[in-house]
Each structure stands twice: as C-alpha cells, then as structure tokens.
Amino acid sequence: MSQDYTKYDAVELAGDAWFIQWIVEGDPEASQFWQDWLKAHPDRQSLVDEARLLVKALRFKETPAEENTVQRLWQNIDTLTEEPPVTSKQSRPGIIRWLGYAAAAASVALVLFFAFGRGETTVVAEYAEQRTLFLPDSSEVKLNAGTTISFDEKKWDTERVVNLDGEAFFEVKKGQTFSVQTNRGTVEVLGTSFNVNTHDGRFDVACYTGRVQVDSRLKDEQPAILNPGQRVRLNRDRQEMQADTFDLQRESWVSGSIEFDSTALSDVFAEMERQFDVEIEVNEALLVGKTHTGFLVQGNLDSTLTAVSWPNQLTYKKETPRRIIIEQQ
C-alpha cells in the first residue's frame, strides 16, 4: 500500500477500501498490514478505534427475499426466456449423459437445499461448464469442468468437510477447520484460498492466501504445510509429494485462463475433453514422452487442437463435431 495513512483522519480511514477490507472481510493480508501499521504508529490507536467502530456500525437491516418469491420470479423469467430448441444434442457417451442429468439434479438439489436446508448436497459441474457455489458458512467454491463436490449441511456447524472429485478453487471464510477430502489425501485449512485438483489421478494443491495443510494418504509422508505461492503435487505414478512454488500473480482457470506447463499430452487431452465437452480418441503410443506448454484457447476447440497437435507432429480430424481423432502427421 503506497498511501501515507498517517495523514488520514478517522473518517478517511473509515472510507478507505483497504481499511474496510480488514474490518469487514477480515482479510488476512489486510489484517497483517494494519496490525503492523499500528505497531509502527501507536499514536494512531484512538483514530483507528474510532474508524473501526464506525465501519462496524454500518450494517444494514436486511430481510432476505422469501424463497417462494425467488422461485416464482425465476419461473416467470425462465418461461419468458424460453426458446425453441435449435438442434437435438449429439448422442453422448453414457457417463457424460449421466453427468448431465446429475448436473440438472444438482441444480434442483441446490434449490431444495436452500429451501429446506438439510442433508447431503451434491453439486456437479458438467463437462464444458464451470460453476460457483456457496457453502453454508458462505465460503465460496468454484468448480472446474467435470467436477463433483458434496457436503453435509446438517453436520456443517460441527465439521466443515467437503468431498471433492475433480478440480476446485476454494475461498474459505475464517472459522474452525475446513477440510477437503479426496481419494488420495486431505487438505485442511482454517480460512484461506487454495486450489485442489484430483483430475486424472493427480493430487495437486496450491495455496493462494493463508496456510494450508496437506495430508496425502501415503503412509510414510508427513503432512505438508503450504504458505501462499507454494504448492505440492502427487502424480498418479509417484509415491511421494513434490513441492515447488508458483507465481501468485499468474492467471489461473478461476480467472478464465487454462495453462499447460510441460503438461503430459494425455493430461492435456483429458483437460480439453472436460473443457470442450468432446471425446478425443488417440492411440496411447503416440503420446509417450510428449508434453505441451501453452494456453487453452477458451471457446475455440480448433485453435486449441492445432496448437497442441502441430508441435508434436500430430494431426486431428473430426469424426463428428464432438468426436475427435488424433493421428500421426
């Protein structure tokens, strides 16, 4: 923060976005900044107290909209925006169709969950879909394509636990331990933001803010503690976690940018299947030892296919718009 806050009075402090971030959001970075700042300027304590009380007092009386109003309005909107179906959908493999149904069911489940607030809730982000949901404590989860998450709302007050299969980015509200359980390990945090990816047999965890504890299911492995900018990966064929760092400023799938960094070609095609909702058929032998570095071109399957295939001496043809065959050039 470049501002010289020593020149601020209580009103200016109370109007400052960074100050509000600390008081209202409890943002860890802001909190650290302001506590340090107070240590350096103890004479500002009373000003800060005043500003803090002012900001805290500015809460508003809100009556949440009634659930049946929300539903009724949506039904009206839905009916008024209905359009004739353009073409019938391509026939899809069974599992994807099932995912489609699951996603539809999940939307219903989500609505029911808000209406009645009990029991196990499952939410699915279909292929070619990303979705955002809020957990009962208003922690936010963004699901990448082809991801399933479930949690028990009834038990939420006693244990914040979600089960994850796929990839998700979490922004967890401060509180008791929040844990993400996956097939290959568990991630535990108190309140922070982090990404977990279990697609294609991997277990990758990256920490964006706060601290994250990662506990793999491996017997000999100690839990790893991650600070912002650190990540661990457990590849499907590895029996130990590998730690490295990443650039926090770098765009990620959450901001709409999917990047491959010397990623195995088999994983690249798997990601493309999820992002574009297509089937990619390729002889495994063609993929051995090949990797790809670059961006996935959002919404443009052909550009992405070309960008991935050419440097690897591969070519592609479309059997149907949703079925792609990869061959040697």
Task: Give the binding site for another protein (CB under 8 A).
Answer: 10-12, 14-15, 17, 20, 24, 45-46, 49-50, 53-65, 69-70, 73-74, 76-78, 80-81, 107, 129-132, 142, 254-256, 299
- Residue bearing tokens 């009103």: 11
CA distance 229 to 249: 9
Check: CB of residue 27 under 8 Å from CB of residue 34: no
Minimum CB separation of residue 30 from another protein in Å reads 13
33/181 with CB nearer another protein? 33
- Side-chain-side CA neighbours of 39 within 13 Å: the count stands at 6
Is 265 strand, coil or helix? Answer: helix
Q: Least Å distance between CB 222 and another protein?
A: 30
- C-alpha 267, offset from chain centre: 19
Q: Which one, 4 or 220, has the nearer CB to another protein?
A: 4
CB 313, min distance to another protein, A: 33
Q: Kindly tell me which of 59 and 219 has the beta carbon lying closer to another protein.
A: 59
Nearer to another protein, 31 or 179 (CB): 31
* CB-based contact 176:205 (threshold 8 Å): no
Cα separation, 234 vs 222, in Å, equals 13
Burial class (CB in 10 A: 0-12, 13-18, 19+), 137: middle
C-beta closer to another protein: residue 45 or 239: 45
Min CB(259)–another protein separation in Å: 15
Beta carbon of residue 121, minimum distance to another protein (angstroms, whole number): 14
The residue among 61, 8, 77, 59 whose CA lies nearest residue 37 is 8
Alpha-carbon span 279 to 91, nearest angstrom:
11
Closest CB 254 distance from another protein, rounded Å = 7
Phi, psi of 105 (to 5 degrees): -60, -35
With respect to another protein, which residue has the nearer C-beta, 110 or 161? 110
Q: Of the two residues 256 and 321, which places its CB atom closer to another protein in the complex?
A: 256
Shortest separation between residue 234's beta carbon and another protein, angstroms: 27
Say how far residue 219 (Cα) sits from the centre of its chain: 28
Amino acid at 119: G
Give the distance from CA 215 to its chain's centroid: 19
Q: What angle do CA 74, 76, 82 make, to 5 degrees?
A: 95
